[in-house]
């Protein structure tokens, strides 16, 4: 077992929560889904091998930053993160992002490459259709009742929590802002990346069907693979051990998977 201090995500800066491991040779930097904070990845920490240090990104408007206004535009958020995450971008690292966090991981990777900075070794993009895929229902302009029902049906909020009006008032504000961030974002085409991408999704995810996440293959000239897991939109929280084991395996044995047909 790892020592206790290596198994807890600890806030180091406003944007960085880290389970520090002096023996690490690679960092896995995780981006949360809409409305979620860095603590969403706490259960991943003891599942990772000692060589991989987990860093979770904490955005304004959630948990210990609940009083701060969420970002409303992608470009300023990416610019801020490019500077705020520099303390953990000084060695080999990979990005994992779930849902809107996958889009954020991708856009930050593009920005880092564009300015010649060191980018991630690999991208793990979870439960998010590739840019340009259409047909998903927009959530940010639903009524409070409709939005609550939608996130409960997806599994993002427990029904018991949904009945607490005070909790839901602040949660819906952040959720709505996060959904608007990506639903109103206009993707700008550019050259494909040149690093391995793994696209992951749940078999019963209505917002990220396999045929939509498979299109991430068009956004890299590197190796590409897909992974399909039992469960819905939040499959990665329901059975994290298999997901984490797969990601760790890819990191420790990089670029062994080929592009899927």
218 Cβ neighbours under 8 A, 6+ residues apart = 130, 192
Q: Can you tell me the distance from the alpha carbon of 31 to that of 178, in angstroms, rounded to the nearest whole number?
A: 13
Q: Cβ distance 119 to 92 under 8 Å?
A: no
Q: Does residue 37 fall inside a structural domain?
A: yes
69 lies in some domain = yes
pLDDT in tens, 191-248: 999 999 999 999 999 989 999 999 999 999 999 999 999 999 999 988 899 999 999 9
Query: Using CA of residue 230, residue 235, residue 238, residue 242, what is the dihedral sign?
Result: positive
pLDDT at 4: 45
Q: What is the CATH number of the domain that holds 21?
A: 3.40.50.1820
Q: Is there a domain that residue 94 lies in?
A: yes
pLDDT in tens, 1-32: 444 456 899 999 999 999 999 999 999 999 99
* 185 close to 162: Cβ distance less than 8 angstroms: no
Rounded to an integer, what is the distance from CA 31 to the centroid of its chain?
3
CA angle 30, 241, 229 (to 5 degrees): 85
Question: Do the domain assignments include residue 156?
Answer: no
The secondary structure of 120-173, three-state, reads CCCEEEECCCCCCCCCCCCCCCCCHHHHHHHHHHHCCCCHHHHCCHHHHHHHHH
Q: Which residue has the higher pLDDT, 250 or 147?
A: 250
CA gap 61, 170 in Å, rounded: 9
Rounded to whole angstroms, what are the CA distances from 167 to 10, 158, 161? 24, 12, 7
Residue 86 located in a structural domain:
yes
Q: Which of 236, 251, 199 is nearest to 52 (CA)?
A: 251
Whether residue 182 is contained in a domain is answered as no
Answer whether 0.75 is exceeded by the pTM: yes
Number of domains present in the structure of the chain: 1
Share of the chain above pLDDT 90, in %: 74
Give the pLDDT confidence score for residue 154 in this predicted structure.
82
Please indicate, yes or no, if residue 186 is contained in any of the structural domains: no
- Give the distance, in angstroms, between the CA of residue 166 and the centroid of all CA atoms in the same chain: 27
14 C-beta neighbours (distance < 10 Å), count: 14
- On whether the CB atoms of residues 101 and 91 are closer than 8 A, the answer is no
Which domain range does residue 32 map to?
Answer: 4-137+191-252
Dump the DSSP string for 209-243.
Answer: -HHHHGGGGGGBSS-EEEEEESSSTTHHHHSHHHH
Q: Is residue 168 part of a domain?
A: no
Per-residue pLDDT tens for 136-169? 778 888 888 888 888 888 887 778 887 777 888 8
Catalytic residues: 99
């Amino acid at each position: 077992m790892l020592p206790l201090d290596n198994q807890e995500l600890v806030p180091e800066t406003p944007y960085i929560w880290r389970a520090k491991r002096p023996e690490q040779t690679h960092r896995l930097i995780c981006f949360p889904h809409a409305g979620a904070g860095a603590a969403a990845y706490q259960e991943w920490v003891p599942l990772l091998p000692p060589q991989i240090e987990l860093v979770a990104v904490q955005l304004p408007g959630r948990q210990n930053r609940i009083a701060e206004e969420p970002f409303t535009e992608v470009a300023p958020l990416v610019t801020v993160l490019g500077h705020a995450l520099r303390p953990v971008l000084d060695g080999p690292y990979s990005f994992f992002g779930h849902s809107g966090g996958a889009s954020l991981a991708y856009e930050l990777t593009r920005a880092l490459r564009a300015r010649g900075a060191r980018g991630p070794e690999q991208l793990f993009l979870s439960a998010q259709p590739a840019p340009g895929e259409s047909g998903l229902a927009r959530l940010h302009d639903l009524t409070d009742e409709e939005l609550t029902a939608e996130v409960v049906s997806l599994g993002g909020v427990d029904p018991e929590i949904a009945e607490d009006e005070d909790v839901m008032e602040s949660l819906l504000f952040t959720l709505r802002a996060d959904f608007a961030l990506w639903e109103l974002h206009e993707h700008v085409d550019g050259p494909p990346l040149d690093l391995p991408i793994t696209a992951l999704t749940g078999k019963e995810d209505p917002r990220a069907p396999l045929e939509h996440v498979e299109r991430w293959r068009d956004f890299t000239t590197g190796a590409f693979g897909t992974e399909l897991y039992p469960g819905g939109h939040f499959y990665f929280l329901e059975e994290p051990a298999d997901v984490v084991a797969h990601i760790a395996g890819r990191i420790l044995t990089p670029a062994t998977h080929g592009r899927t047909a």
